């Protein structure tokens, strides 16, 4: 079975986008290891986890109760409690890589780290399996190969699309400011700019289905060679099961 590395920021990642892949892949017999910026245990976006302050229509932005429960299980796992530091990761020790997303300010160190970029380059150079979701795709887009191009150049990919990012920001701007606007440039626009063609970014449908443990085939993913990518928590079960299928071919 595979040794899987999951990279996380120290704070404010999306709980569902980390916990569901951990759960699905662990149940499939793989072992998931974690790495954070300083080697201390990570903590997710507590607003998303608890739903506090997300009233009315904003409740749709909170983690589903069953996914929050999975996150709390992950918090108790020995590997989660004892992560590596990004700078201490030897990528060759791992068979596959998972890059969860999130939108809060705590994501920025993860999405701007040269140590993270070096890990991403290694996995792409080896054509080893990589899964990314939401803002996680920015770590790949910002990782440059020896020719100075993004390692995503020539790939088809998805991530948080403009419709999803803009509506979340507009819904929360009055009460949460820029909490849902990580960078001035959207994920879709930044990633599209480094691809061989802007059409290689696949936004999926405007009104997506939300996958669950009972209905994991709902959602939208893009698979291209060693990379499987998704957009938001509603896609994460499909992503996780798709990645487990990819790993069976190792």
pTM: predicted TM-score of the whole model, two decimal places = 0.97
Tens-place pLDDT, residues 184-237: 999 999 999 999 999 999 999 988 789 999 999 999 999 999 999 999 999 999
Alpha helices in 5-125 (DSSP H): 15-27, 46-50, 65-75, 78-81, 108-111, 114-125
Measured between alpha carbons, how far is 65 from 196 in angstroms, rounded to an integer? 39
Side by side, the strands of the sheet bearing 221-224 are 84-85, 31-36, 3-7, 96-99, 130-133, 227-230, 221-224
Domain spans of the chain, in order of start: 3-248
Residue 73 CB neighbours (<10 A): 13
**Residues whose CB is less than 8 angstroms from the CB of residue 184 and which lie 6 or more positions away in sequence, other chains included:** none
DSSP 202: -
47-51, 55-59, 109-113, 128-132: the lowest-pLDDT one: 55-59
| pLDDT attached to residue 147 | 93
Residues in the chain: 250
Quickly count: other Cβ atoms within 10 Å of residue 205's Cβ. Answer: 9
Average pLDDT, the chain: 96
Integer CA distances (angstroms), 155 to 120, 194, 200, in order: 14, 10, 7
Domain at 3-248: CATH architecture: 3-Layer(aba) Sandwich (3.40)
Please check the confidence at residue 249 and state whether its pLDDT lies above 90: no
Closest listed residue to residue 101, CA positions, set 50, 179, 45 = 45
Cα distance between the two ends of the chain: 9
Q: Are 111 and 10 in contact (CB under 8 A)?
A: no
Q: Which residues are within 8 A (CB) of 148 and not within 5 positions of it... i.e. 6 or more apart?
A: none
């Amino acid at each position: 079975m595979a040794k899987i590395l999951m990279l996380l920021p120290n704070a404010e990642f999306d709980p569902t986008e980390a916990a569901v892949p951990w759960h699905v892949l662990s149940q499939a017999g793989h072992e998931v290891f974690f790495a954070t910026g300083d080697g201390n245990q990570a903590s997710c976006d507590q607003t998303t986890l608890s739903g506090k302050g997300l009233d009315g229509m904003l409740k749709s932005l909170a983690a589903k109760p069953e996914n929050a429960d999975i996150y709390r299980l992950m918090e108790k796992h020995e590997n989660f409690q004892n992560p590596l530091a990004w700078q201490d990761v030897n990528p060759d020790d791992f068979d596959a890589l998972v890059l969860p997303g999130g939108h809060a300010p705590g994501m920025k160190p993860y999405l701007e780290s040269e140590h993270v970029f070096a890990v991403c380059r290694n996995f792409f150079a080896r054509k080893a399996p990589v899964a990314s979701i939401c803002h996680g795709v920015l770590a790949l887009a910002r990782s440059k190969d020896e020719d100075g191009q993004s390692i995503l150049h020539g790939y088809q990919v998805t991530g948080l699309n403009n419709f999803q990012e803009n509506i979340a920001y507009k819904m929360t701007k009055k009460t949460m400011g820029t909490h849902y606007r990580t960078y001035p440039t959207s994920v879709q626009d930044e990633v599209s700019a480094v691809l061989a063609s802007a059409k290689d970014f696949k936004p999926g449908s405007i009104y997506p289905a939300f996958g669950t443990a009972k209905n994991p085939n709902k959602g939208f993913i893009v698979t291209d060679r060693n990379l499987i990518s998704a957009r938001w928590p509603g896609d994460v079960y499909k992503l996780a099961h798709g990645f487990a299928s990819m790993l069976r071919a190792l």
